[in-house]
Structure 1
Amino acid sequence: MKNVLLVLFLSISMIIIYVFIPQQQSIVFQPNDSNANMAYIPTKEETQFKIKYTHSIHLTDVVESYKITPSKKIHQYELMYEDFSIGMPSNAEEGETFEVLNGSYYIKNMKRIFPFFHLRIGQVRANHTVIFKNVEYPLSHSIPPGTSVKVEIRTLNFIDLWKGVNILESL
């Protein structure tokens, strides 16, 4: 009887550990003010991702490139855009480089590090898309358009993964 209780106790303890201990580093899109589910991208060994959107005024693509730092912060290292219109930088900041390649403008060597940032999923034209491992995932497939989200790097537990929406599986 003691052995059965011990095995039962150990089994329940292992299940609790598995379910509640954070284990999967992910890029998390957490809705700020709605009942929408969190969406995430499990990163495993990958540390880079991009967010592409259509600029609301000049209607051309903008691509922001990010790296995940060892301290789970988000490092923006590059910005690509196709038009100098309103809302886009005209040159690089100190320490950054400005390049023109194939008709697109690049600001490289950016050292902008954030613990998180906020993003509103476009309702009309923006078509916010995450590029992960060179595959494009429209965020509107996983998050309702118009939703404001907090983008951050978190380590999720099994319950978080189960309740959330895996963006990589939403195509």
Structure 2
Amino acid sequence: MRKFQPIHYLLIIFIILIFFAFIPFQKAIIFQPNHSNAEFAYIPVKNGTHFGIKYTHSIHLSDVIESYKITRDQSIQQYELMYEDFAIGMPSNAENGETFEQINGAYYIKNMKRNFPYFHLRIGQVRANHTVIFKNKEYPLSRSISPGTSVKVEIRNLNFFKQWEGVNILESL
């Protein structure tokens, strides 16, 4: 009977490591450019994670913050909208089951339950300054994604190699 040589053990370990490198294990918010080969940006997350997207409204030139959470089925649920000015493009009241509040001069629509498998966003070129708010820190998307780029925002599981291909927004500052 033939004995295993140390090289055999190393080869087996190497094959196992390669195998595990292709298993998607890290849940992430993905900002995937549409219609281009540009690399995607991502934020590693867990279920129930909350995040926001803040931007400057193009007409009012005031801040708008859309608040989201990740559900168990990996969809994105918008649960709140904050804005400072009523006018073109902004809601004037809450929908069924939602609440409308005015707090310190800002307007809030709360208790929203709007679920999306994904949504599209165009990174502003002039003044929108789209920014992700994650764990009370702000990350301008223009640092990871070229202004003017249209992106698909979705939740995906990434393997080791996919994480390597993308840009971790939390590390890009």
Instruction: With the length of structure 1 as denominator, give the TM-score of the two structures.
Output: 0.95
Mapping for residues 75-154 of structure 1, pairs under 5 Å? 75-154=77-156
Deviation for aligned residue 1:14: 1.9
Aligned residues: 171
Change (3 A) 1:96 1:46: closer
> Is residue 99–residue 106 contact of structure 1 (8 Å, CA) maintained in 2?
yes
Change (3 A) 1:47 1:113: same
Bigger-Rg structure (1/2):
2
**Paired residue for 2:16?**
14
Instruction: Note the alpha carbon deviations across 1:73-116, whole angstroms, 9 max, x for none.
Output: 00000000000110000000010000000000000000100000
Of 16-25 and 146-155, more deviation after overlay is shown by: 16-25
> Is residue 82–residue 109 contact of structure 2 (8 Å, CA) maintained in 1?
yes
The answer as to 2:62 corresponding to 1:60 is: yes
> Is residue 76–residue 111 contact of structure 1 (8 Å, CA) maintained in 2?
yes
Matched residues in 1 for 2:76 and 2:47: separation? 15
* Structure 2 residue identity aligned to 1:118: H
> Is residue 36–residue 144 contact of structure 1 (8 Å, CA) maintained in 2?
no
Deviation for aligned residue 1:4: 3.5
Moved over 6 A (4+): none
> Aligned-pair RMSD on alpha carbons?
1.3
* Structure 2 residue identity aligned to 1:134: N
Matched residues in 1 for 2:139 and 2:169: separation? 7
Matched residues in 1 for 2:83 and 2:18: separation? 47
Matched residues in 2 for 1:36 and 1:46: separation? 29
Question: Please, which of 27, 32, 42 is the counterpart of residue 29 of structure 2?
Answer: 27
Matched residues in 2 for 1:98 and 1:44: separation? 29
Unaligned segments of structure 2, at least 5 residues: none
> Is residue 47–residue 74 contact of structure 2 (8 Å, CA) maintained in 1?
no
Matched residues in 2 for 1:96 and 1:46: separation? 20
Matched residues in 2 for 1:46 and 1:165: separation? 22
